[in-house]
Amino acid sequence: MLKLLLHKMISKFESSYDYDAAYMHNINSVSPSATIRLMMLSGMTNYQGPEKSIWGGAALAATLHGDCGPCAQLIVDRLLEQGLDSKQLIACMHKDWPQASTTGLGFRFAYATLGNQQCLESLRVEILEKHGEAALIAASYATVSYPVYPLLKRALGSAEACQSLEIGEHKNIKVSEHF
């Protein structure tokens, strides 16, 4: 019964985002308990804090760190659904930080965290001073949790090839050229 309910929830997610979640169905077929644990991760990934654009930028960079295919398109679609500015997302893809604004700040923070870059401390301080601790927590949660999904897909043998992204009306944004 639980397994069937979880399959239905996964199918609804798939249809809502035109996303192939076969890996989630496979996990659920083996272990509904493992599926529930995976779904519980969304509590962490969805904590946006007071500045949604910082969280969104971090979520985008963290996802791109693990994937340049369907997971990256999924997060772009979800960020647009959350009201993030498509121009700022595109600016992140082109590393145009003035145009990327606060979304770019979150993006650079996640990128620096994942790459253990020297600029991390100055980005952390900037987020804290301008937006507060809750924004830093949201960016940190996004940074460490969003790569889980694409990395899990890769570990299970379900990763797909890189693809061009669509961000709003802009098509064919090549991810692999930027990261």
Average pLDDT for the chain: 90
Give helix 86-93 / helix 97-114 axis angle, nearest 10°: 60
What domain range is 160 assigned to?
48-174
Give me the pLDDT at residue 179, please. Answer: 54
* Residue 30 shares a structural domain with residue 68: no
What tens digit of pLDDT does each residue of 100-142 get?
Answer: 999 999 999 999 999 999 999 999 999 999 999 999 999 999 9
Are 88 and 147 contained in the same domain? yes
Q: Is the pLDDT of residue 157 over 50?
A: yes
Residue 43 CB-density burial (10 A; 0-12 exposed, 13-18 middle, 19+ buried) = exposed
Give 173's strand partners.
Answer: 165
If asked whether residues 160 and 142 sit together in one domain, one would say yes
pLDDT surpassing 90 at residue 5: yes
Q: Does residue 110 contact residue 139 with C-beta atoms inside 8 Å?
A: yes
Q: Mark whether 4 and 68 lie in a shared domain.
A: no
Is 58 contained in some domain? yes
Q: Which two tokens stand for residue 124?
A: 């952390």
Q: Which range has the worst mean pLDDT, 57-66, 105-114, 155-164? A: 155-164
For residues 170 and 86, membership in a common domain is answered with: yes
Say how many domains are in the chain.
Answer: 2
Q: What percent of the chain has pLDDT over 70?
A: 96
The pTM of this model reads 0.89
Residue 178 pLDDT: 47
The reply to whether 52 and 36 lie within a common domain is no
Residues linked to residue 165 through DSSP beta bridges, in sequence order:
173
Residues 96, 13 share a domain: no
Residue 45 has pLDDT above 60, yes or no: yes
The strand pairing partners of 164, in sequence order, are: 174
Cβ within 8 Å of residue 32, ≥6 positions away:
2, 3, 6
pLDDT of 161: 65
- Closest C-alpha among 107, 106, 108 to residue 135: 106
